[in-house]
Structure 1
Amino acid sequence: MREFFKYVFATVVGVIISLVLFTLLFVVVIVGVVSSLESDKTVSVSSNSVLYLNMDQAIKERTPDDTFSNLPIVGGDGEKSIGFNDILKSLKKAKTDDDIKCIYLNVTSPNAGFATLREVRNALIDFKTSKKKIIAYSEVYTQSAYYLASVADKVYLNPEGALEFKGLSSQVMFFKGALDKLGIEAQIIRVGSYKSAIEPFINDKMSDKNREQVTAYLTGMYNTFLEGIAESRHISTPTLHQIADDYKIQQPKDALAYKLIDGLKFKDEILDELKSLSGKDKKSNISSITINDYAKNINADKSESGKNKVAVIYADGDIVGGEGSNAQIGSERLSRTIRKARLDSSIKAIVLRVNSPGGSALASDVIWREIILTKKVKPVIASFGDVAASGGYYIACAADSIFVQPNTITGSIGVFGVIPNFQKLLNSKLGITFDGVKTGKYADIMSTNRPLTDGERLIIQTDVNRVYDTFITHVSEGRKKSKAYIDSIGGGRVWIGTDAVKIGLADRTGSFNDAIVSAAKKAKVKEYRVVEYPEMISPLKSFMENSTDKVKTYYAKQELGDSYPIYQQIKSAISKSGVQTRMPFEIKVN
């Protein structure tokens, strides 16, 4: 009888769990369907409208499907996001749209890299040629926010607000002390004295080589930052440098005194000015449309046609084997996309849009091969975003031409492998020991419960050397330089976009649109339409395939709060398998 009740109880519990999961799935599907119907709706643009450009949302390479944005456990975060490609298309359309009278730029802390901000900034400069005005307003401007806002016809700050203007800084987090306390040894195999991805695990501060390259690229980014503001605000670059160096902007009135802004105003005064610019009197309501809705209208417009196409293929995120996700570059998914574009006779040229710190060396080589084959059939132009380094450079080095922004981070031609040794942690801290048998001397190579032997280290180093030789060979062939020269500028060193052009790793500085125009020109087509690949993975499919990981990530974020990025970095470092062609570290510029 006890066994009977035990099985009945187990069955009941199973049924309840199944019902809960089914209910959750049902809710997700219904929400998805409703949201999909809502997202397909276009938003009418009233005459005399203000285009509201909110740049505090996440700026991605492409606008993600926000079907589940309000369901955090499914993968959303409840926040808006938009692709920089849609921002560019929207600003181009708004420039000639008679219903759009001006732009209201609201930005405090944009969630985008400096190269992406420069693309948007230049699009705003182009919008101004229409003689339509841009008004920027914020209660607080971070430096990246001010870099973008400075292009506006009028830059306003709240009278009690703040404007940050102090110069750029970059910090690297080091884990060696923590690993030592835990009894974990990071066994490093690498090629390239500048390949500093492993430094956080073996050092407690920057090496001289790393400090040299960080100083070089940070200085390059800062120069681009100052030059852009200098041109827009009509203040000399040396003057701006001095203002930042002496930390002269401490109060809102200081920003006005040094002409970084045009006035100190409250929000109601800004609204009155927007009414005036859009042809409304003070008693009327402002007609406005958000950049997100305006972009949907453009994407819903299927009137664009043409037999010839230029395909933009996005390579965004870490490079991994297999299919990957919308936030990763899966070698199978991307190589299949490139292959299809190569075989499609209506596609006359390809633009490979890269925004990646690198990843798996093998996955990078798989993608590189498809670029090589495609290049023989039709033009391939590479356009680099915020970062196209290590594996991100690897996959694009064979392109006919490479476009960078002046502040793009690229290069990092180097290879490394990390094999953690948990012996001290397991033996001394936890009292866990291991024993076993093997049929070959190297049968347990890569074991993480003991240190590498000299023979094992030699084997792994030989493999890393081989991958590095393959890497610089591919780059030398793609860039038409000697291997010795590529080795001399490689070694894992990171370069800023302007320097990359000087040393031959890139061909010219130019925008995303410049790369598209160049691809069409090389293909000798004058009329064409742009198509974008690969197709985005639907949120529902992503949830169904990765539901366990999404739930774990959700609860980890809730539990760790601001410490989640630290946990994420450690987890990411430990999870890397195989030889890596990866950016030296995650760059965060303040």
Structure 2
Amino acid sequence: MAWWLRDYGVAAMSRPQGRPAAAAPRSRPCGPRAAFHVAKISNLPKKTKQNGRKFRKNRVYLHIVSTNERFNDKRMKDFLKHVGATVVGLFLFSVVVAGIGIMAVVGMVASASSTRSVASNSVLVLTLDGPLAEQSEGTLRDQLTGDSPQGLREMLAAVRKAKANDDIKGIYIEAGDLDADMAQAEELRGALMDFRKSGKWIVAYGEEYSQLCYYLATTANKIYMNPQGLVDWHGLGGQVTFLRDAYAKIGIKMVPFKCGKYKSATETYTEDRMSEPSRRQTERYLGGWWNAICQAVGRSRGISVDSLNAYADRVVSLEDPKNMVRLKMVDALVYDDEVKPLVNKLLKQEADDDINQLTVADMADVPEPDTTDSDNEVAVYYAYGEIVDEVPTQSLFTSSHLIVGKDVCRDLASLADDDQVKAVVIRINSGGGSSYASEQLWHQIGKLRSKKPVVVSMGGAAASGGYYMACGANYIFAEPGTITGSIGIFGILRDRSELMTRLLGFKYDEVKTNRNATMGSEVKPMTPEQAGYVQAAVDRGYLLFKSRVAQGRRMTMAQVEERAQGHVFLGSDALKLGLVDALGGVDQAVAKAARLARLDDYYTAGYPAPKDFWEQLLDEGSSSTGSVLDGQLRQTLGSLYEPFMLMRAAEGQSWLQARMPLLLRAR
């Protein structure tokens, strides 16, 4: 006798001993497959139940399992394996991260609390190569490796400490291709010249000197160059990219709304060449920078300005390097291994003696010369980059340097409420950005000023929105080469109607309750009436900006108008026009803030505070990936990189801007 247990996929078969088994009756398969796996089950106790059925002793039972069940069992085992591996991996990752975090925190605490003793006959090494930020922004990787990048703030502090420390005999400049603002270079050069006045020496060596690096290197007692090196001396210049025709090819038209004949920031998107007012003001600040460089280099090297201009015109950098010595641009041609004996001679050591070297990062642990136990703090707040309303979504195109209106307002409010902070210096390096955020920052600086003195130190640029912020302070410092002014705002809207309707073939219809209900759509041109409303809003913003300047600088509206219309000025010109109060850098601004607060003793502290370990850990992956992708994009696009980035940047900006024109760099 045999039967099929269809509900459970089990067949029980019995036969008398010695008799052949009867064939099982045919039946439909249990499941979608026709193949089965047979397993023997034996020695079951009496009245044992399995799957709800009773089984008798001394019988042979066959368990028939479909391959579907077999596959599902295997899949469940694999799933459990993966879950287990994931849990173990997450646990190990957490342990590693926690370990790294503990080491980083311990390292940072130890670094913050430790002081470095300086060996006698030491030399401070300044590496003038690559981009120079306002302050060091070391990533988590930098902190773990102890290799944080240099910033202007740290360089100035290192030079100041080196001047006061008797064990540091001189500075060694490693020259290269420095990328800095003109104002940053002026401030650093002033610190190096002050170091020289103390009677200590400076030596510079490089295989290649960029113009701005050479400008700084001429503070040295001796300038050495590799026999196959060069000084890249050719004058200042640059090219401005215009995107109007490129937009036209893809059916996009940029519609500008601006105030003032010098407010030329919209020209990049709406014109195919520079307007004459824009050309004149660009030539003025480039000429001012170049004249300042030539004057300083000429005094240091004993070369006339006319000769330096002649060298630039004939591209002396491509001539035989020996000519550099004959023209007094450098003192000697030596290989890098021949510099050590020259430095040892200045240290009065043997030619092969080891030299005690200190980097800018090392100097961070050397105490300030005038360390005080005062409870009076002068806060130095660094605000640099584009002014934006809020933090944008992180992407390859997002700048790491931003003045986020809401964040900075919150920080300034905190400084206003801190009783230990007696005065605040705001270091501004920005060409502007969002008009709305600029107004909010002006308001918050005014509230801060009502409680304690506020002094602004302008960096490479404090123009348009950057000047909007600055004009609310008690006192303003600028470097001669600072770019400032650009008092004015503009609006720019995109008209994609041709792209969407003619080129892509989209069709649109609309339903509305009022005449201008669909105003602002990018798929249809604005009417003259709508354009008039937008221009009126821009005009009101411009009037508000001018009123803020008049209030802060104690001028009439007519006086402000003479200095406005988007006109860009050098810091030296802004001083004559009353837009700034004095020429100088951060150190001068700190001293002035202390005087305004009537402080006899004080210490300084930098803000905003560095990100903690966990914030840096979260940022590390995206920032590293972004840097790699940006480098690959630069390499792939080549000369197309800049216009592509300009077009992409325009997509993320608010329509109403207090922004200066694109600024050429002094390289």
**How far is the alpha carbon of 1:106 from its aligned partner?**
0.7
Give a deviation string over 1:452-486, Cα, whole Å, max 9, x none. Answer: 22222112111111111000110011111111221
| 1:576 counterpart = 2:653 | yes
Normalized per residue, which structure has more helix? Answer: 1
1:31–1:67 contact (8 Å) kept in structure 2? no
Q: Which of 92, 101, 111 is the aligned partner of 2:160?
A: 92
Q: Which moved more, 1:20-29 or 1:158-167?
A: 20-29
| 1:53 counterpart = 2:121 | no
Q: Counterparts in 2 of 1:450-461, with a 5 A limit?
A: 450-461=524-535
Tell me which residue corresponds to 2:245. 177
Q: Which of 431, 436, 439 is the aligned partner of 2:505?
A: 431
Tell me which residue corresponds to 1:74. none
- Letter of the 2:255 partner, please give it: Q
- SS of match in other structure, 2:281: helix
Q: Which of 453, 457, 461 is the aligned partner of 1:387?
A: 461
2:341–2:352 contact (8 Å) kept in structure 1? no
Tell me which residue corresponds to 2:299. 231
| 1:528 counterpart = 2:528 | no
Rounded Cα–Cα distance in structure 2 between residues aligned with 1:238 and 1:319: 41
Tell me which residue corresponds to 2:30. none
**How far is the alpha carbon of 1:238 from its aligned partner?**
3.3
Q: Which of 334, 349, 355 is the aligned partner of 2:408?
A: 334
1:63–1:83 contact (8 Å) kept in structure 2? yes
Rounded Cα–Cα distance in structure 2 between residues aligned with 1:29 and 1:183: 53
| 1:281 counterpart = 2:355 | no
| 1:312 counterpart = 2:380 | yes
Q: Which of 236, 249, 259 is the aligned partner of 2:328?
A: 259
- SS of match in other structure, 2:358: strand
- Letter of the 1:293 partner, please give it: D
Rounded Cα–Cα distance in structure 2 between residues aligned with 1:556 and 1:431: 34
| 1:186 counterpart = 2:260 | no
Structure 1 runs not aligned, ≥5 long: 72-76
Rounded Cα–Cα distance in structure 1 between residues aligned with 2:597 and 2:382: 20
Rounded Cα–Cα distance in structure 1 between residues aligned with 2:72 and 2:530: 54
1:50–1:274 contact (8 Å) kept in structure 2? no
Structure 1 residues 95 and 3, CA gap change in structure 2 (3 angstroms): same
Rounded Cα–Cα distance in structure 2 between residues aligned with 1:99 and 1:309: 29
Q: Counterparts in 2 of 1:433-452, with a 5 A limit?
A: 433-452=507-526
**How far is the alpha carbon of 1:39 from its aligned partner?**
5.4
Give a deviation string over 1:517-568, Cα, whole Å, max 9, x none. Answer: 1111122212111122222334642563796687466435434436455433
2:485–2:569 contact (8 Å) kept in structure 1? yes
- SS of match in other structure, 2:647: helix
**How far is the alpha carbon of 1:183 from its aligned partner?**
1.4
1:320–1:328 contact (8 Å) kept in structure 2? yes
Q: Which moved more, 1:10-19 or 1:107-116?
A: 10-19
Q: Counterparts in 2 of 1:132-211, with a 5 A limit?
A: 132-211=200-279
Rounded Cα–Cα distance in structure 1 between residues aligned with 2:620 and 2:518: 31
**How far is the alpha carbon of 1:513 from its aligned partner?**
0.9
- SS of match in other structure, 1:136: strand
Tell me which residue corresponds to 1:477. 551
1:194–1:492 contact (8 Å) kept in structure 2? yes
Rounded Cα–Cα distance in structure 1 between residues aligned with 2:71 and 2:272: 61
Aligned alpha-carbon RMSD (Å): 3.2
| 1:376 counterpart = 2:472 | no
Rounded Cα–Cα distance in structure 2 between residues aligned with 1:15 and 1:361: 54
- Equivalenced residues, count: 584
Rounded Cα–Cα distance in structure 2 between residues aligned with 1:400 and 1:562: 48
Q: Which moved more, 1:226-235 or 1:413-422?
A: 226-235
Give a deviation string over 1:424-469, Cα, whole Å, max 9, x none. Answer: 2223333333344334333332222222222221121111111110
Structure 1 residues 184 and 539, CA gap change in structure 2 (3 angstroms): farther
Q: Counterparts in 2 of 1:483-522, with a 5 A limit?
A: 483-522=557-596
By relative contact order (CA 8 Å, sep 6+), the higher-ranking structure is: 1
1:57–1:82 contact (8 Å) kept in structure 2? no
- Letter of the 1:585 partner, please give it: L
- SS of match in other structure, 2:308: helix
1:57–1:79 contact (8 Å) kept in structure 2? no
| 1:422 counterpart = 2:526 | no
Structure 1 residues 65 and 585, CA gap change in structure 2 (3 angstroms): same
Rounded Cα–Cα distance in structure 1 between residues aligned with 2:101 and 2:506: 48
Structure 1 residues 436 and 536, CA gap change in structure 2 (3 angstroms): farther
Give a deviation string over 1:141-182, Cα, whole Å, max 9, x none. Answer: 111110010111101111111112221113211112211111
**How far is the alpha carbon of 1:213 from its aligned partner?**
0.7
Rounded Cα–Cα distance in structure 2 between residues aligned with 1:305 and 1:91: 23
Q: Which moved more, 1:459-468 or 1:223-232?
A: 223-232
Rounded Cα–Cα distance in structure 2 between residues aligned with 1:363 and 1:50: 45
Rounded Cα–Cα distance in structure 2 between residues aligned with 1:279 and 1:439: 88
Rounded Cα–Cα distance in structure 1 between residues aligned with 2:87 and 2:495: 41
Give TM-score scaled by structure 1 length. 0.90
Structure 1 residues 10 and 586, CA gap change in structure 2 (3 angstroms): farther
1:65–1:539 contact (8 Å) kept in structure 2? no
2:449–2:474 contact (8 Å) kept in structure 1? yes
1:397–1:475 contact (8 Å) kept in structure 2? yes
Give a deviation string over 1:284-309, Cα, whole Å, max 9, x none. Answer: 2222121222224458x996421222
Structure 2 runs not aligned, ≥5 long: 1-69, 393-398
1:171–1:588 contact (8 Å) kept in structure 2? no
Larger-gyration structure (1/2): 2
